[in-house]
């Protein structure tokens, strides 16, 4: 059986290069592609589970229409598309095309996704979203500090002698990074993990620093204070490549370990040890996760952590640096993230980019002139995944007409008037980048779509025809056949002579110009050309201090509102190895590991509430409540509870029922973890 | 070649990809796998590290499953040395799962037979590694040539055996034990995983009641033949034959494939299960024949009784594959039950009293020394009514035979049920629970705990 090259397009660091074995038209086996250096081990369990996902009996194979009773019935493509086209034509006349919300999320990466936006522009306009749920405040902090979001090749981590996983649980969310951490440890390196949870990744660390959620910036500033006080600064590097060191040094002069300990609950001795590590061990890499930048103060937090690498000269060298997001493969974008997701300074009159991803529900409800009437959702499941789920549900229910394109009947699809069956990654070719390694990859079509499934580009083409768009017959605008898709991708690749579809069919190809050691030329595309600890743009664009500082999180227990007595616990909603956000959790292969949502709670917090292991508990705050099983966890910092995100409402507990629709301090991110709750036993009456 | 699975606990993150890779390669149902990842210290007790063990069949040199299998369904594949089960020969008795300490054989509900890891024998013959080993994202699981003498098998959770498993483990290195944590002490930590997170093939009275009933019936029938041989009473051969048939039907009730029950006697050479089935079948046949044709021959009657006891001893021996050991180490051993009932039936009251005393000792030992407290009323019935009361009646004399027999039978039924409730299979999960309990027990020897105590290495 031939091995076909493809790549996993999920919103995941690893973005694995894969080979697929097809037997009698069915996917039989999935394995790692031999030519990748980033993920040389096998794919993760989710990657393997595509063998079930593609053929799952729950997969949607036909269009569905909501019935009066609230269920769904099968309809033909013709009647589904006629209904959609009719509605779109009507609302385009009155109240106007911008009454249509075109919502897409991170469900599938690829260049073919651009067809969608093209359609909505040809339609006459739409309302779009800005910001991102995932990573923008960290991206923006990095852009302001280093000028660009790029980092060393994944395998370079093996050269690090100090690895700090700051709020990252690589073992679960980036399992292939774990192999390079192991190599660094085998070579005598040291691992320090900073996380309120004792995660799988923390298990091999020398030190697990467990700060109060949202106070990581205070720890970083105190470490900077110690490094500056005790000669841990690489003066030569700072003098040549860092802007604003003096202002930064002045601002942390009174940020003593004692002060940070008072803020963060981290003992003074641990802050000293972290500083000693940065002073003594080189090269040092900080791999920062996304969780710690889901706070209202998190852009400044990320800038404070970045400063530690800048002042110790841990940038632009093998084994050193800031591993956050490596956008070197994003060669097709004129403007890279995070700026690409900012609302345009001057609207173009066609797209109304007016809905913040972080405030999807409230913003949708608030729009006027024209108000929203229709929503089209693809590559996303916003109801359980966007903050403050009840507001998202209300906003969708306030519309006249909703279309959701998905592979399964998700929580969002269940709110739709029409559900259109979506292709899987194996059913249409595409070219994808990544954000950890710098490979360009072909996500190759290896099987035909099952049932009546159509790729989005075909759905749009059929709608274009019904709406009388002259481009409806144009395969370069709406590529549908394999030849049209290949031609579309070849055109996108044309500016890069080294990258052709033929080469991508053989395996992953490094993006043109990608550095294995980022910033090895010590060229920083910031306004000053240097690493900016002091950023004028930070102050003018975001209204934060020009140097990184510490601001108490909005839902800190040290603030009066919400009442700390009523909601004393921090709810963390981390990712799990078992899902990518809300994907994969419906498969039997995955559910055997984790079949129901549970809230992890510290045994002493549980005892104080009369909660036994396995008991049903109610987790609630003023925004909502979920009833869920308690799971006692000795490794969690007391005062924190955790529920993995990505469970559906139909599983019984979507975590964003509790989170707030609130933006981060910079980058238009979502401050999911500003989320205080109370937990109580549910009486079994 | 001396190939084995190689498992490095320092690299395993418990992701489960090996488990899923097995499922896919072997075309199993999506949530069935021949490999399982177990986690040590899943609740992150601060005094112990958390690590995982990924285990499948270890294709042991002296395979316990193969020895136990009464139906000769297991065989070693000559080229790869994989221990394979033939689905066409398996009777679905599940005894191999009792015998295997690594939880390798899995009962397949759909086919009614056992299934297990084949070492991906087809892949091995094609020069590939087993699917689980070739799909590990972190390189924790591998398949490699490790000389037997060089193999390490000591890690918490791995049952220590003399079976010669084809496995080599790399335990946690001293430098990677567990992190020093800055969060405060846990006042009241939780230790292990509470039930029901048990192994899927756990033994319980609920699943094994036909065996409990069958063994009691067998002991009773042996005792009745002893009574007839002693001339205490006459026994109708038709009733006896009917009771024997009912007993055999009970015994086969828990087989996945009842039509293949005849295969249960094929492994007389090695399997106690074959020996039990064979001896009791012969006993049932001989006893029926003796009762029908030559009941006057006492000597023949005693000889038949002896065959019955061979069967009862074999029935007790059957449990020697479990951590609790052979059945006669328990007061509910079917040999003891048979002996006391036979003594009563033959009116050898002294022997009956002696066995009752022995059973009392075993019962007390179990409750006090092994600390296996049951429910209070169960113990009261078992010890009071089933042991003490009949002993008192026997010593007081003249014995009220009917009452003594009734009490002894009632006690035996209760105790036999307790026996099945207390049965445990050896398994990695059991060993992990035991090892964790030892590690976190107050006063446990404090070994090296943290990955590395302070001072940080200076860079070269």
Confidence of residue B458 (pLDDT cuts 50, 70, 90): very low
Q: Where along chain A do its domains lie?
A: 64-124+334-431+447-475, 136-328+527-542, 569-681
Helix axes A216-229, A245-252, angle to 10 degrees: 110
A311-328 burial, b if ≥16 CB within 10 A, otherwise e?
bbbbbbbbbbbbbbbbbb
User: DSSP label at B373?
Assistant: -
Backbone angles phi, psi at B189, to 5 degrees: -70, 155
Task: Report yes or no: B274 and B266 within 8 Å, Cβ to Cβ.
Answer: yes
CATH 3.40.50.740 fits A64-124+334-431+447-475, yes or no: yes
Over range A39-48, report the average pLDDT. Answer: 96
Task: Report yes or no: A29 and B25 within 8 Å, Cβ to Cβ.
Answer: yes
Q: How far apart are CA A424 and CA A453, in angstroms?
A: 9
pLDDT reading at B222 higher than 80:
yes
Over range A23-27, report the average pLDDT. Answer: 95
Structure tokens at A341: 């997701």
pLDDT reading at B86 higher than 90:
yes
Q: How far apart are CA A287 and CA A321, in angstroms?
A: 8
Tell which CATH classification among 3.30.70.20, 3.30.465.10, 3.40.50.150, 2.160.10.10 matches the domain B3-172.
Answer: 3.30.70.20
Contact A591 B51 (CB under 8 A): no
Q: Report the mean per-residue pLDDT for chain B.
A: 90
- The pLDDT of residue A65 is 98
- The pLDDT of residue B459 is 37
| CATH superfamily entry for domain B205-422 | Formate dehydrogenase/DMSO reductase domain (1.20.1630.10)
Contacts of A637 in chain B (CB under 8 A): 183
From the list B308, B306, B354, B365, the residue with the least C-alpha distance to B331 is B365
In this chain, the answer to whether the domains covering A64-124+334-431+447-475 and A136-328+527-542 adopt an identical fold is no
Chain A residue with Cα closest to B176 = A204
- The pLDDT of residue B380 is 83
Complex confidence, ipTM: 0.96
Contact A273 B29 (CB under 8 A): no
Query: Which candidate from A270, A277, A632 shows the least CB-CB separation from B190?
Result: A632
pLDDT reading at B457 higher than 60:
no
Q: How far apart are CA A316 and CA A530, in angstroms?
A: 12
Q: Where along chain B do its domains lie?
A: 3-172, 205-422
Kindly state the percentage of chain A with pLDDT values over 90: 98
Contacts of A281 in chain B (CB under 8 A): 456-459
Cis preceding-peptide flag for A2 (omega within 30 of 0): no
Over range A629-658, report the average pLDDT. Answer: 97
Query: Which candidate from B16, B181, B186 shows the least CB-CB separation from A208?
Result: B181
Over range A364-377, report the average pLDDT. Answer: 98
Kindly state the percentage of chain B with pLDDT values over 70: 92
Over range A504-530, report the average pLDDT. Answer: 97
Of all residues in chain B, what percent are helix, strand and coil, respectively (each to 5)?
A: 50, 10, 45
Task: Report yes or no: B334 and B342 within 8 Å, Cβ to Cβ.
Answer: no
Minimal C-alpha gap between A591 and chain B (Å): 8
The interface residues of chain B toward chain A in range 418-457, judged by CB-CB distance below 8 A, are 450-452, 454-457
Work out whether strand A26-32 and strand B106-108 pair parallel, antiparallel, or are unpaired: unpaired
What tens digit of pLDDT does each residue of A45-87 get?
999 999 999 999 999 999 999 999 989 999 999 999 999 999 9
Question: Which class for A486: exposed (0-12), middle (13-18), buried (19 or more C-beta within 10 A)?
Answer: middle
Backbone angles phi, psi at B56, to 5 degrees: -135, -155
| CATH superfamily entry for domain A136-328+527-542 | Dimethylsulfoxide Reductase, domain 2 (3.40.228.10)
Task: Report yes or no: B191 and A613 within 8 Å, Cβ to Cβ.
Answer: no
Instruction: Provide DSSP, A524-575.
Output: --STTSSEESS-HHHHHHH-S-SS------TT-TTSSSS-TTTS-EEEE---
Query: Which helix (H) or strand (E) segment is A506 a member of?
Result: helix A501-506
Q: Report the mean per-residue pLDDT for chain A.
A: 97
Task: Report yes or no: A609 and A638 within 8 Å, Cβ to Cβ.
Answer: no
Q: How far apart are CA B169 and CA B167, in angstroms?
A: 7
Backbone angles phi, psi at A28, to 5 degrees: -100, -45
The torsion of the CA quartet A76, A77, A82, A83, rounded to 10 degrees, works out to 70
Over range A407-412, report the average pLDDT. Answer: 98
Residue carrying structure tokens 């009514």: B385
pTM recorded for the entire structure = 0.94
Task: Report yes or no: A236 and A315 within 8 Å, Cβ to Cβ.
Answer: no
Contact A604 B11 (CB under 8 A): no
SS3 category, B368: helix
From the list A297, A230, A288, the residue with the least C-alpha distance to A257 is A230
- Asked if B35 has any chain A CB less than 8 Å from its own CB, the reply is no
What tens digit of pLDDT does each residue of B47-75 get?
999 999 999 999 999 999 999 999 999 99
- The pLDDT of residue A646 is 97
Backbone angles phi, psi at A677, to 5 degrees: -140, 170
Just give the CATH number of A569-681: 2.40.40.20
Over range A482-488, report the average pLDDT. Answer: 98
Alpha helices, H only, A94-215: 114-123, 136-146, 170-173, 175-186
Beta-carbon contacts below 8 Å between A and B: 182
From the list A214, A218, A217, A211, the residue with the least C-alpha distance to A195 is A211
Task: Report yes or no: A352 and A127 within 8 Å, Cβ to Cβ.
Answer: yes
Q: How far apart are CA A7 and CA A446, in angstroms?
A: 11
Q: How far apart are CA A287 and CA A201, in angstroms?
A: 12
What tens digit of pLDDT does each residue of B186-218 get?
999 999 776 544 455 567 777 788 889 999 999
């Amino acid at each position: 059986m031939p091995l076909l090259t493809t790549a996993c397009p999920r919103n995941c660091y690893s973005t694995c290069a894969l080979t697929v074995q097809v037997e009698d038209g069915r996917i039989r086996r999935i394995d790692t592609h031999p030519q990748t250096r980033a993920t040389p081990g096998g794919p993760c369990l989710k990657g393997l589970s595509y063998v079930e996902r593609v053929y799952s009996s729950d997969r949607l194979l036909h269009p569905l229409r909501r019935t009066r009773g609230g269920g769904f019935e099968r309809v033909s493509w013709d009647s589904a598309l006629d209904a959609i086209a009719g509605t779109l034509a009507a609302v385009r006349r009155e109240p106007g095309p911008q009454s249509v919300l075109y919502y897409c999320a991170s469900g599938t990466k690829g260049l073919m996704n651009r067809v969608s936006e093209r359609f909505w522009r040809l339609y006459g306009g739409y309302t779009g979203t800005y910001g991102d749920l995932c990573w923008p405040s960290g991206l923006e902090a990095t852009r302001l500090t280093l000028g660009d979001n790029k980092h060393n090749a994944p395998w370079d981590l093996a050269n690090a002698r100090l690895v700090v996983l700051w709020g990252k649980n690589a073992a679960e969310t980036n399992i292939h990074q774990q192999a390079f951490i192991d190599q660094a440890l085998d070579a005598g390196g040291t691992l320090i993990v900073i996380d309120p949870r004792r995660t799988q990744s923390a298990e091999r660390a020398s030190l697990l620093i467990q700060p109060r959620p949202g106070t990581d910036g205070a720890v970083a500033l105190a470490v900077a204070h110690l490094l500056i006080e005790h000669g841990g600064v690489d003066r030569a590097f700072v003098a040549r490549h860092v802007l604003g060191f003096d202002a930064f040094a002045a601002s942390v002069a009174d940020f003593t370990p004692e002060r940070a300990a008072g803020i963060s609950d981290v003992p003074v001795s641990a802050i000293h040890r972290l500083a000693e590590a940065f002073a003594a061990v080189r090269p040092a890499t900080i791999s920062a996760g996304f969780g710690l930048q889901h706070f209202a103060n998190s852009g400044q937090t990320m800038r404070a952590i970045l400063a530690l690498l800048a002042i110790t000269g841990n940038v632009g060298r093998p084994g050193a640096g800031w591993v956050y997001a490596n956008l070197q493969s994003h060669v097709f974008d004129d403007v890279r993230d995070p700026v690409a997701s900012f609302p345009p300074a001057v609207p173009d009159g066609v797209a109304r980019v007016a809905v913040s991803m972080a405030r999807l529900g409230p913003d949708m409800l608030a729009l006027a002139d024209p108000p929203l009437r229709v929503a089209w959702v693809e590559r996303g499941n916003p109801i359980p995944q966007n903050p403050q789920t009840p507001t998202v549900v209300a906003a969708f229910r306030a519309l006249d007409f909703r279309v959701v394109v998905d592979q399964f009947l998700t929580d969002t699809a269940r709110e739709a008037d029409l559900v259109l069956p979506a292709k899987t990654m194996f059913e249409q070719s595409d070219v994808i980048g990544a954000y950890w390694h710098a490979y360009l990859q072909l996500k190759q079509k290896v099987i035909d779509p099952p049932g009546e499934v159509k790729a989005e580009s075909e759905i749009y083409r059929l709608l274009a025809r019904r709406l009388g768009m002259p481009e409806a017959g144009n395969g370069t605008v709406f590529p549908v056949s394999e030849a049209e898709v290949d031609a579309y991708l070849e055109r996108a690749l044309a500016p890069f002579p080294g990258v052709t579809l033929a080469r991508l069919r053989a395996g992953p190809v490094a993006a043109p110009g990608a550095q294995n050691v980022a910033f090895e030329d010590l060229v920083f595309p910031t306004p000053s050309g240097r690493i900016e600890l002091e950023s004028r743009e930070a102050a003018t664009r975001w209204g934060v201090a020009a140097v990184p500082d510490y601001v108490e999180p909005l839902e800190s227990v040290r603030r009066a509102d919400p009442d700390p007595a009523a909601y004393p616990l921090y709810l963390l909603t981390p990712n799990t190895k078992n899902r990518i956000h809300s994907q994969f959790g419906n498969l039997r292969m995955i559910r055997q590991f984790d079949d129901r949502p549970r809230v992890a709670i510290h045994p002493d917090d549980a005892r104080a509430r009369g909660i036994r292991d396995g008991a049903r508990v109610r987790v609630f705050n003023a925004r909502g409540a979920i009833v869920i099983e308690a799971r006692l966890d000795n490794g969690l910092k007391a005062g924190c509870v955790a529920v993995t995100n990505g469970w559906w409402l139909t599983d019984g507990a979507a975590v964003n029922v509790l989170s707030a629709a609130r933006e981060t301090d910079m980058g238009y991110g979502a401050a999911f973890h500003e989320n205080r709750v109370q937990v109580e036993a549910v009486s079994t009456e | 070649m001396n190939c084995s699975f190689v498992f490095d606990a320092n690299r395993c993150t418990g992701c489960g990809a090996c488990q899923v890779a097995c499922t896919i390669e072997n075309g199993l149902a999506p949530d069935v796998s021949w490999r399982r990842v177990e986690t040590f210290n899943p609740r992150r007790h601060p005094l112990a590290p958390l690590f995982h063990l990924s285990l499948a069949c270890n294709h042991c040199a002296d395979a316990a499953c193969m020895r136990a299998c009464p139906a000769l369904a297991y065989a070693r594949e000559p080229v790869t040395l994989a221990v394979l089960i033939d689905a066409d020969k398996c009777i679905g008795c599940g005894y191999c799962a009792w015998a295997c300490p690594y939880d390798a054989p899995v009962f397949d509900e759909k086919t009614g037979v056992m299934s297990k890891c084949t070492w991906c024998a087809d892949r091995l013959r094609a020069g590939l590694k087993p699917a689980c080993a070739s799909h590990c994202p972190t390189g924790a699981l591998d398949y490699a040539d490790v000389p037997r003498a060089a193999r390490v098998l000591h890690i918490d959770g791995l049952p220590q055996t003399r079976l010669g498993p084809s496995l080599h483990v790399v335990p946690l290195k001293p430098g990677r034990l567990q992190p020093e944590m800055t969060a405060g002490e846990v006042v009241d930590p939780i230790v292990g995983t509470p039930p029901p997170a048990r192994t899927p093939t756990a033994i319980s009275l609920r699943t094994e009641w036909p065996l409990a009933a069958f063994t009691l019936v067998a002991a009773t029938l042996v005792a009745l033949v002893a009574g007839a041989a002693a001339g205490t009473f006459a026994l109708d051969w038709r009733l006896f034959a009917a009771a024997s048939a009912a007993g055999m039907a009970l015994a086969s009730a828990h087989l996945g494939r009842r039509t293949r029950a005849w295969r249960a006697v094929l492994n007389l050479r090695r399997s106690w299960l074959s020996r039990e089935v064979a001896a009791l079948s012969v006993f049932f046949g001989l006893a029926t024949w003796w009762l029908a044709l030559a009941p006057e021959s006492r000597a023949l009657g005693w000889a038949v009784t002896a065959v019955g006891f061979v069967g009862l001893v074999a029935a007790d021996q059957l449990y020697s594959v479990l951590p609790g050991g052979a059945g006669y180490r328990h007061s509910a051993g079917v040999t003891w039950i048979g002996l006391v009932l036979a003594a009563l039936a033959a009116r050898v009251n002294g022997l009956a009293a002696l066995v009752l005393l022995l059973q009392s000792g075993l019962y007390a030992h179990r409750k006090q020394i092994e600390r296996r407290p049951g429910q209070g009323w169960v113990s009261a019935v078992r010890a009071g009514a089933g042991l003490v009361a009949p002993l008192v009646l026997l010593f007081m004399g003249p014995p009220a035979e009917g009452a003594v027999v009734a009490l002894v039978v009632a006690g035996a039924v209760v105790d036999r049920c307790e026996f099945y409730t207390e049965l445990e299979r050896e398994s990695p999960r059991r060993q992990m629970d035991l090892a964790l309990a030892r590690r976190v027990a107050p006063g446990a020897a404090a070994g090296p705990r943290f990955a590395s105590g302070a001072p940080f290495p200076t860079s070269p």
